[in-house]
Structure 1
Amino acid sequence: MTADIEQIKKKIIYRSNYRGTKEMDKLLGAFTNKHLDQLNVEDLNELLKLLEIDDNNLYNFYNGLKTNIEFEDNKVNSLFKNFKY
Structure 2
Amino acid sequence: MTDDIEQIKKKIIYRSNYRGTKEMDKLLGAFTRKYLNQLNMEDLNQLIKLLEIDDNNLYNFYNDLDTDIQFEDNKINKLFKNFKY
Report TM bin, short chain.
over 0.9
1:75 matched residue in structure 2: 75
Q: Does 1:13 align with 2:29?
A: no
TM-score by length of 2: 0.99
In 2: Cα distance, 1:49 partner to 1:3 partner? 21
Residue ranges of structure 2 left out of the alignment (5+ in a row): none
Q: Which residue of 1 aligns with 2:63?
A: 63
How far has the Cα of 1:82 moved from its partner? 0.1
Unaligned runs of 5+ in 1: none
Instruction: Give the total of aligned pairs.
Output: 85
Between the two proteins, what is the percent identity of the paired residues? 85
Write the distance in 2 (CA, Å) between the matches of 1:7 and 1:70.
29
RMSD: 0.3
Moved over 3 A (4+): none
Shift of 1:80: 0.1
